[in-house]
Amino acid sequence: MSRRAVPSPAFVLIALALAAASLGLVHAAAPPRAVATGTIRGTVTLPATAPGRRPSVSRPGGTSAADRQQDALDRQTSVVYLDNMPRGMAGEFIERKARLDQRGQRFVPHVVAIGVGGTVDFPNSDPFFHNVFSLADVKSFDLGRYATGKSKTVRFDKPGLVRVFCDIHAHMSAFIFVFAHPYFDVTDGQGRYRIDGVPAGTHALVLWNETIEPETRQVVVPDGGEVEMNFTVAASPAPQ
Amino acid sequence: MRTLGLITATVLVWLAMPAARADADPLPSRPITFGDGRVVVSGDVAMSFGTADEGYFNLYDYSHDAFNALTMSLSAEVRATDRIGFVALITDEISLRGRGSDPSDRHIVYPYALYVRVRPTDRPFTILGGRIPPVFGGFARRDYGEVNALIGLPLAYGYSTTMRPEPPPSRRELVLNRGGGWAVRYPRATAETGPQGLPLVSARRWDTGVSAQWDGSKVQAGVAVTVGTLASPRTEDDNGGKQISGRVGVTPSASVNVGVSASSGEYLADAGRSTDYGTVGWLPEPARSTTHRQQALGLDAEYSLGHVVVRGEVVASRWDVPFLNGDPTLQLDALGSSIETRVALTPRWSVAARGDRLGFSRVTATDGVVRSWDAPVRRVEGAVGYLVRRNVRLKASYQYNWRSGGRERTIGMAGAQLLYWF
């Protein structure tokens, strides 16, 4: 006859106490129960024209083939995200680590997105100084001038949009999105995005691109399925 | 004038107010592009208001001084092809003080830059033609007003000496006018030669000609042939002479850039050389048919690391100066030197300071007294800068000047400046 292991009353009491205590914490840090989720994916189609670079009047200037060439990272320019944390969900965000390279007098990529508590590295790959700084309420910082091969890291503890500049090169700028939830994605070089694990139901999905006003659409995520939401952006200047 | 001051103050306050939301900003913050990105237009506004410059230490011209001016610039670049572009910068300058009898003198519009840019290959070699940026020195080659952490210009680039593109009556008259570069008292040849003296290098006008520049990461070099001189850049040639100027810069590390410059060009205008000055007469031969040059040497250096930038510059200028009374032609020297630093304290706040000297060689006046041909000047200036937004900067500055001659020998200047660009 087999004997089943029976937990002692003390163990049960401790386990119950821990479970009860942890419920309150879990409520703010992870889904309290298993929820049905789905995926939002799609493509963002943008006009070909990129924002212009401020003319340098007193420098020789001009562009080389290397200056004109944009790689896939350069074309990561849009962010798609849920406007609000889905009801009943909380936390479980990913503290992503991102990298904003300073290369060819550009920040590459132009847009990155991380979760609250995430960090961004700012390596300098140009053979001259850059000086990264931001005046954003979310995170204000000034990394000073540093040379080729050096990198500095900034941690972001509040959600919001952080615009980043170079104090030396006025035409350089980039955007860092800091989210308090995991439901976001930056488009890839082909404009594609994919957000997995979205709770089934109706959500407000936002497209952000620096050249337009943010566009919000309602999207219904099926239980265990995928929904495709494509955006086509007309060329229209938006103030920044 | 009070109305203008009120408008100025209102605009200053409005521009300085932080926007509630960046995307609610009614002002553009980045260049405007057309034609599939081939046409890019950007602009600058600099508004300065401060103490009246009774000592004429900061005068651009008789009606405009650096501490009391509204300057609006619009620049455009048209990229005809990937190799060829056209660049223009038009400046509209309004005096915010009531100096100058003719109101039209207080509001001037002029082309600061207008040139074609050719980059024949992918290498950093560029040819410019037209009204082009200077290759000489460090200060004048900087882009945009926001790069100047102070309100005033270095003395070598903005202070009017008593030198003019015409011959002085005599050594005695020259020395008697020490410190009066803003309006030398002896008669000028024509309106063409202008009422004011020349700086060592003009930061307000660019010259017309052709330049070729190599802009490598370790070595930079440029040479230019232009119709004017460093002190008197020209749109049209006024004497048939040409100036050749050049600079070689090295960047041994990203922290350091050092450059040496040189130039030589004919500065005496035909209008000043071949004119009957009335009671004084004509410039006698052989001076009238001789070439009179401005020659200059420059040394500029910049060091930066972290939140600190330090710049230093020395400009030595020599003019060949004939005299209407037949005194022998003299070589008159001037030496301008400045050192400045800017320290970023926080992302928004910064401080800056500059020390400046301008000295002159000595001449023996007709009465036998040996004096410098113009009154030496010293200057210190300190400023606090606040970055309201990325493209809006507010500065408050205090400047003190000493001069060993002239009507006003010392003057303290306080001022504020607001800069906006897109």
Q: Write the pLDDT tens digit of every residue in B153-211.
A: 999 999 999 998 888 888 888 888 888 877 777 776 666 666 678 999 998 889 999 99
Q: What is the pLDDT of residue A70?
A: 57
Instruction: Establish whether the linkage from the previous residue to B133 is cis, with ω within 30° of 0.
Output: no
On average, the pLDDT of chain A sits at 80
* Separation of alpha carbons B46 and B48, rounded Å: 7
Is the Cβ pair B143, A59 closer than 8 Å?
yes
Least confident window among A68-72, B124-128, B132-136, B242-246: A68-72
Does position A27 have pLDDT exceeding 50, yes or no? no
Given the DSSP bridges, would you call strands A173-179 and A111-115 parallel, antiparallel or unpaired?
Answer: parallel
Q: Do the strands A226-228 and A37-45 form a parallel or antiparallel pair, or are they unpaired?
A: parallel
- Rounded distance, CA B413 to CA B399, Å? 5
Q: How far is B20 from chain A (nearest CA, A)?
A: 12
Mean pLDDT over A160-166 rounds to 95
The pLDDT of A193-202, averaged and rounded, is 92
From chain B, the residues in CB contact with A52 under 8 A are: 30-33, 37, 40
Write the DSSP symbol of residue B151: S
For position B15, what pLDDT does the model report? 53
**pLDDT of B306:** 95
Alpha-carbon distance of B351 to B381, in angstroms, equals 11
Write down the pLDDT at residue A73. 59
pLDDT on residue B280: 74
Confidence at residue A32, expressed as pLDDT on a 0 to 100 scale: 47
Portion of chain A with pLDDT greater than 90, in percent: 50
- pLDDT bracket for residue B105 (50, 70, 90): low
% residues pLDDT > 90 (chain B): 56
- Give pLDDT tens digits for B342-359: 999 999 999 999 999 999
Chain A residues lying within 8 Å of B347, measured CB to CB: 133-135, 140-142
List residues bridging with B86 in a β-sheet: B78, B116
Half-sphere exposure of A66 (CA within 13 A, CB side): 9
| Cβ-defined contact of B347 to A133 (cutoff 8 Å) | yes
Higher-confidence residue of B293 and A54: namely B293
Burial B160-198 (b: 16+ CB within 10 A, else e): bbbbbbbbbbbbbbbbbbbbbbbebebebbeeebbebbb
CB contact under 8 A, A240 and B22: yes
Of B84, B86, B77, the C-alpha closest to B121 is: B84
Residue of chain A with shortest Cα separation from B139? A58
- Cβ–Cβ below 8 Å for A145 and B304: yes
Confidence of residue B11 (pLDDT cuts 50, 70, 90): low
Flag if B26 and A239 touch (Cβ within 8 Å).
yes
CA B161, CA A141: separation in Å to the nearest integer? Answer: 44
User: Inter-chain contact A62–B122, Cβ cutoff 8 Å?
Assistant: no
A chain contacts of residue B30, beta-carbon cutoff 8 Å? 51-52, 54, 173, 240
Inspect the interface and report whether the beta carbons of A238 and B23 lie closer than 8 Å.
Answer: yes
Residue A79 has pLDDT above 80, yes or no: yes
Q: Confidence band (pLDDT; 50, 70, 90) for A29?
A: very low
Decide: residue A12, CB within 10 A, 0-12 exposed, 13-18 middle, 19+ buried. exposed
Chain A residue with Cα closest to B118: A62
Taking residues A185-192, report their average pLDDT.
92
- Helix, coil or strand: residue B148: coil
User: Which position has the token pair 């306080």?
Assistant: B414
pLDDT given at position B151: 94
- Report percent pLDDT > 70 for chain B: 88
Q: Which of B27, B87, B143 to mutate to test the interface with A (most CBs of A within 10 A)?
A: B143
Cβ separation A64–B76 shorter than 8 A:
no
pLDDT tens digits for range B37-76: 789 999 999 999 999 988 889 987 777 889 999 999 999 9
Residues of B in contact with A64 (CB under 8 A): 119, 122-124
B21 — pLDDT class (breaks 50, 70, 90): very low
Q: pLDDT at position B178, please?
A: 87
CA distance B180 to B157: 17
Average pLDDT over residues B231-256: 92
Average pLDDT over residues A54-81: 68
Sorted by sequence, the CB contacts under 8 Å of residue B319 that are 6+ apart come out as: B163, B231, B267, B292, B293, B294, B331, B332, B334
- Inter-chain touch A135–B390, beta carbons under 8 Å: yes
Residues of chain A positioned with their CB less than 8 A from the CB of B215 = 59-60
Q: What is the pLDDT of residue A88?
A: 61
pLDDT of residue B100: 58
Residue of B nearest to A235 (CA): B36
Span A220-229, pLDDT tens digits: 999 888 999 9
pLDDT of residue B346: 96
User: Which chain A residues are closer than 8 Å to B392 by Cβ?
Assistant: none
Cis amide linkage into residue B286, ω under 30° from 0: yes
Distance of residue B200 Cα from the nearest chain A Cα, in angstroms: 19
* DSSP states of A5-65: ----HHHHHHHHHHHHHHHHHHHHHS-SS---EEEEEEEEE--SPPPPPPP-SSS-----H
Tell me the C-alpha distance between A230 and A45, whole Å: 8
Handedness of CA B145, B148, B153, B157 (dihedral sign): negative
Query: In angstroms, rounded to a whole number, what is the distance separating the alpha carbons of residues B213 and B115?
Result: 14
Within 8 A of B133 by CB-CB distance, chain A residues are: 57-59
Residue B26, token pair as written in the block = 């009614």
SS3 B2: helix
Average pLDDT over residues B358-363: 96
Examine the predicted complex and report whether its ipTM is higher than 0.90: no
Mean of pLDDT over chain B: 87
Residue B202's alpha-carbon distances to A80, B93, B280, B317, in angstroms, are 52, 16, 29, 12
Residue B305 C-alpha, separation from nearest chain A C-alpha, in angstroms: 5
The closest of B221, B61, B42 to B144, measured between CA atoms, is: B42
Beta carbons of B157 and B138 less than 8 angstroms apart = no
Chains A–B, number of C-beta pairs less than 8 Å apart: 146
Per DSSP bridges, beta strands B256-266 and B293-305 are antiparallel
Q: How far apart are CA B336 and CA B154, in angstroms?
A: 8
- Interchain CB distance below 8 Å, B87 and A129: no
Task: Say if residues A229 and A205 touch (Cβ distance below 8 Å).
Answer: yes
Q: Whole-angstrom Cα distance, residue B345 to residue B381?
A: 18
Question: How many Cβ atoms from other residues are within 10 Å of residue A234's Cβ?
Answer: 9
Residue A147: predicted pLDDT: 86
Q: In angstroms, how far is the first alpha carbon of chain A from the final one?
A: 76
Residue B270's pLDDT is 86
- Residue A8: is its pLDDT beyond 80? no
Quote the pTM value.
0.83
- Residue A227 near residue A220, CB atoms below 8 Å: yes
Number of separate helices (H) and strands (E) present in chain A? 2, 18
What pLDDT is stored for residue A161 in this prediction? 96
Unique residue bearing structure tokens 């460090």:
B138
